[in-house]
Amino acid sequence: MHVHGHGGNPKRVLGISLWVTLAYIVLLVVAGIRAHSLALLSEAGHNLSDFLALLLSLFAVYLQSRPASSTKTYGYHRAGVLVALVNAVSLVAVAFLIFYEAFKRLQHPEHVRAGMMMWVAATGVVMNGAIALLLYRSAMRPGGGDVNIRSALLHEVGDTLSTAAVIVGGWAILATGDYWIDSALSVGIGVLILWSGFGIVRETLNILLEGTPRGIKLELVETAIRAVEGVNDVHDLHVWSIGSESRALSCHISIADIPPSVSERILRDVKECLHHDFRIDHTTIQFEHAECEVAHGCVIPVGDGEEHHH
C-alpha cells in the first residue's frame, strides 16, 4: 500500500485507534452493566468489532508492504481485501446478535439509567469522531483510497452516528420514562451495522472475483482507447483490481502495419490515457495487424507486433 504524506501514516493511525477503542470498550461494558442499558452493551459489541477490524487492518498494512516474490508475483495486495471481507462478515454477525437481544428486551423492558447512558455516549462521540477523522485522512485519498482502511473508517463513522443516537435516546428516556426506547435504539444500531457491512462485502467480493473496479465503466475505457490516434479497434478488453488501490488491464488493439518505432508512440499514448483518466497503471497490451479469428481472444499468432507492458 502506498502511503501519501498528507494522508497520515496508516500504521500510526491504526495503532492509536486500536488502543483508544479498547479503552472505550471497557468503559461501555462497565457502564452498560451498571446502567442496565442494552444500547450501551450493543455499542460495546459494535466497538469490539471495530477493535478486531483495526487489529486486522494493522496486520493487513504490514502484509501489503511486503514485496513481490517468485511465488507471489503480485505481492500481498489482496491481504487487505481479505481482511476487509472478514471485518464486514463480523459486522453482520454482531448485528444479528443485537437484534436477538433487542427482541428479548422489548418483551421484558428493564429499568435503564439514562443519565449514565448519555455521558458515556457523549464520550464515545468524541472518541469515535476523532478516530474517524484520522482514518478519513488515510482512506479518502483521490480515487477512493484503500478498501481495507475504508472498512475500518466505516466502522468508526457508524459508531459515531449510533453513539450520538444513544444520547438522544437517553434524553427521550429521561423525558418519557419509556424504557423500550433503549431496545429500539439497539435495533437502529444493528440496521446501521448491516448497511455498512453489506457494502464492504459487495466491494471486496467484486475484487476477489476480479470484477470491473468500483467507479469504472468498461465501455468508457474502450471508448478512450479507441480515441487514441492510430488505434483501429479494441477487443478482448479486461479490467480488474489486483488490490484495492491497484488496477490492471489487458486488451488487444488493432493498428496499421507500421514500424515498431511508430507503434511505440501509440502504446505510450494509450498508457498515458489509462493512467490519467482511469488510474490504471498495470497494463498488458497486445498489438495486432489483423483481426482475431475468434470472438473472445486470439489463440493463434497474428504477427510480430505484440507488446506487453507492466
pLDDT for the residue numbered 59: 74
Between 76 and 217, name the one with better pLDDT: 217
- Over residues 151-199, the pLDDT tens digits come to 677 767 777 777 787 888 888 888 888 878 888 888 887 887 788 778 7
DSSP letters spanning 221-286: HHHHHHTSTT--EEEEEEEEESSSS-EEEEEEEE--S--HHHHHHHHHHHHHHHHHHH---EEEEE
pLDDT for the residue numbered 269: 94
Query: Which of 132, 145, 154, 158 lies closest to 61, judged by CA?
Result: 145
CA contacts within 13 A on the Cβ side of 281: 5
Per mean pLDDT, which range of 17-31, 46-60, 208-222, 257-271 is the poorest?
Answer: 46-60
Neighbours of 14 (CB within 10 A): 26
pLDDT for the residue numbered 141: 56
pLDDT for the residue numbered 290: 61
pLDDT for the residue numbered 305: 46
Q: Which residues contact 221 (CB under 8 A, 6 or more apart)?
A: 237, 239, 249, 274, 278, 280
Rounded percentage of the chain residues whose pLDDT exceeds 90: 16
Between 246 and 265, name the one with better pLDDT: 265
Residue with cell 466505516: 154
CA 175 – CA 131 distance, rounded (Å): 31
Task: Give this prediction's pTM.
Answer: 0.64
Can you tell me the mean pLDDT for 271-283?
92
pLDDT for the residue numbered 291: 55
Can you tell me the mean pLDDT for 81-100?
81
pLDDT for the residue numbered 6: 41
Domains of the chain: 5-208 (1.20.1510.10), 218-288 (3.30.70.1350)
Q: Residue 166: which H helix or E strand, with range?
A: helix 147-176
Mean pLDDT of the chain: 78
pLDDT for the residue numbered 304: 45
**pLDDT confidence bin for 58, thresholds 50/70/90:** confident
Between 302 and 133, name the one with better pLDDT: 133
Can you tell me the mean pLDDT for 32-57?
78
What's the one-letter identity of residue 40? L
Between 291 and 211, name the one with better pLDDT: 211
pLDDT of 150 above 50: yes
